[in-house]
């Protein structure tokens, strides 16, 4: 772990205008201090990114690809260090932190292989029409606290490959791994191409309305996404907003509870439920309801929740106090509106620990079902009519992901095609990769991440229309 964390501005590691404690969510002690940028340092970062843009945007894409490979190599070389800091600041077990760092490297290497080739739309004796992809300018990436390192990297890779320059702002409760990223790549990139600043939730508005920032790439809550969209309207910024979700899973009556229980359990409680595309509402046909409830409750009751640094821990704490209190509220609400069959008892100990909690005999219209708890609490809702449950699954204002579980793939596919979400999985949930586009629907966001389509979100289309007879 670094003894001194620094901002990255214009190719230099610099102290902040202030400092802030970063807490370990497993014990609520101070893990480290991080610098805090002020408005002047934000302006310095924006100015540096704008100065760097002309040269970087004209750098051949092959050279930008090589730079991303070097970034991926630096992530790999520093993986153990980043992993331990990630567990310390975020709370997830070391094995899962190592997986996050590994995924970050994979995302970086994937985008290093991508191209932004021009396309000839039309050509004849009279006319040639070409489509080109041009970089936008300065991009600001704003990250959440659930996967702070992975999300930083999967914003960095496509933004820089496309020829943009970048400012990253991590969440105040998980800034350390982003600052390490700045330290390990600062000598690999030209000054100003990447800048990393931190705040205490007080610089976001200045970024989102800044006239010299061309695009905001934000991952976080729907209310914050709406505020960003409003703030960005004055300059008509490009936006990618990956926001909240309340993913529904529908288990059909032909599914085998014993075969699907582990997949459902893992999809619901990954990262202690702190995943935007986690399975958050489980609708189960009445014929197998009791059996599946029992299977999932058994797994939850046997799970080991604890300090991510300790051997044997399977699930870490909720990341911060504010979210912990929200999750505790959902647990208490569920106690009044359903039957808790696993977890539910908040331990009296330091740290933001919530046992994996499973709630049955609960209905739509309750907070736990209708809202996004973003924690380790799963409601299981009984249904009898397929048409009705599809309508109930679609009634949410969110539309990030959903899933259908069945032993009949054709039947499952028919149901999946009727789910109103950007991604629908069959017999799995929360499966993703850098090569697969990730589009939100409804109030779960705007734009696309990952895949070719996600890369193009960091570009502007330009049409060159040539009159050959002129």
Kindly list the catalytic residues: 242, 276
Tokens 């309305």 — which residue? 209
Q: Give just the sign of the alpha carbon dihedral 279, 352, 100, 61.
A: positive
Could you count the other beta carbons within 10 Å of the beta carbon of residue 446? 18
Q: How far apart are the first and last CA of the chain?
A: 64
Q: CA-CA distance, 21 to 36, in Å (whole number)?
A: 10
Angle at 179 between CA 57 and CA 228, to 5 degrees: 65
Q: CA-CA distance, 213 to 195, in Å (whole number)?
A: 13
CB neighbours of 355 closer than 8 A, spacing ≥ 6? Answer: 300, 303, 305, 342, 343, 344, 345, 346, 347, 376
Q: CA-CA distance, 263 to 83, in Å (whole number)?
A: 25
CB neighbours of 457 closer than 8 A, spacing ≥ 6? Answer: 158, 217, 238, 240, 447, 448, 449
Could you count the other beta carbons within 10 Å of the beta carbon of residue 117? 9
Q: Phi first, then psi: what are they for 459, rounded to 5°?
A: -130, 165
List b or e across 345-366, with b for residues whose CB sees 16 or more CB atoms inside 10 angstroms.
ebeeeebbbbbbbbbbebebeb
CA 207 to chain CA mean position, Å:
19
Structure tokens at 139: 């991009």
Tokens 């966001």 — which residue? 445
Q: Tell which residue, 367, 396, 376, 360, has the closest CA to residue 283.
A: 360
Q: CA-CA distance, 106 to 317, in Å (whole number)?
A: 26
Whole-angstrom CA distances from 182 to 9, 35, 48, 178, 279 are 9, 13, 15, 6, 33
Alpha helix stretches (DSSP H) within 338-379 = 367-370
Structure tokens at 103: 């995924």
Q: Phi first, then psi: what are they for 394, rounded to 5°?
A: -85, -5
């Amino acid at each position: 772990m670094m003894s001194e964390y620094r901002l990255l501005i214009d190719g230099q590691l610099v102290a902040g205008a202030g400092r802030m404690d970063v807490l370990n969510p497993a014990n609520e002690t101070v893990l480290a201090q991080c610098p805090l940028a002020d408005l002047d340092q934000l302006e310095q970062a924006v100015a540096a990114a704008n100065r760097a843009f002309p040269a970087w945007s004209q750098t051949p894409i092959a050279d930008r690809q090589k730079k991303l490979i070097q970034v991926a190599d630096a992530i790999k070389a520093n993986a153990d260090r980043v992993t331990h800091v990630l567990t310390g600041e975020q709370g997830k077990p070391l094995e899962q932190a190592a997986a996050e760092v590994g995924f970050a490297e994979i995302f970086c290497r994937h985008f290093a292989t991508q191209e932004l080739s021009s396309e000839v739309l039309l050509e004849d004796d009279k006319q040639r029409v070409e489509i080109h992809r041009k970089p936008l300018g300065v991009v600001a990436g704003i990250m959440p606290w659930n996967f702070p390192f992975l999300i930083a990297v999967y914003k960095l890779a496509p933004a820089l490959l496309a020829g943009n320059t970048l400012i990253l702002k991590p969440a105040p409760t998980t800034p350390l791994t982003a600052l390490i990223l700045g330290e390990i790549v600062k000598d690999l990139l030209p000054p100003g191409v990447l800048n990393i600043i931190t705040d205490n939730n007080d610089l976001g508005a200045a970024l989102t309305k800044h006239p010299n920032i061309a695009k905001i790439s934000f991952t976080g809550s729907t209310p914050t996404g709406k505020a960003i969209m409003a703030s960005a309207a004055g300059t008509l910024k490009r936006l990618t907003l990956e926001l909240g979700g309340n993913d529904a899973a529908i288990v059909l009556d032909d599914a085998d509870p014993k075969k699907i229980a582990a997949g459902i359990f893992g999809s619901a409680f990954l990262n202690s439920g702190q995943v935007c595309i986690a399975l958050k509402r489980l609708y189960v046909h009445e014929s197998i309801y009791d059996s599946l409830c029992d299977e999932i409750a058994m797994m939850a009751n046997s799970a080991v929740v604890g300090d991510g640094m300790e051997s044997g821990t399977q699930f870490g704490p909720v990341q911060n106090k504010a979210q912990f209190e929200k999750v505790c509220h959902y647990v208490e609400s569920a106690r009044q509106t359903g039957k808790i069959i696993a977890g539910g008892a908040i331990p009296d100990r330091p740290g933001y620990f919530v046992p994996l909690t499973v709630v049955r005999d609960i209905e739509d219209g309750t907070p736990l079902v209708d809202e996004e708890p973003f924690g380790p609490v799963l409601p299981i809702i009984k249904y009898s009519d397929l048409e009705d449950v599809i309508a109930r699954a679609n009634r949410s204002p969110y539309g990030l992901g959903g899933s259908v579980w069945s032993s009949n793939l054709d039947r499952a596919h028919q149901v999946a095609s009727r789910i109103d979400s950007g991604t629908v999985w069959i017999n799995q949930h929360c499966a993703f990769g850098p090569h697969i586009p990730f589009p939100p629907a409804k109030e779960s966001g705007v734009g696309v991440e990952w895949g070719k389509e996600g890369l193009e979100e960091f570009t502007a289309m330009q049409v060159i229309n040539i009159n050959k007879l002129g």
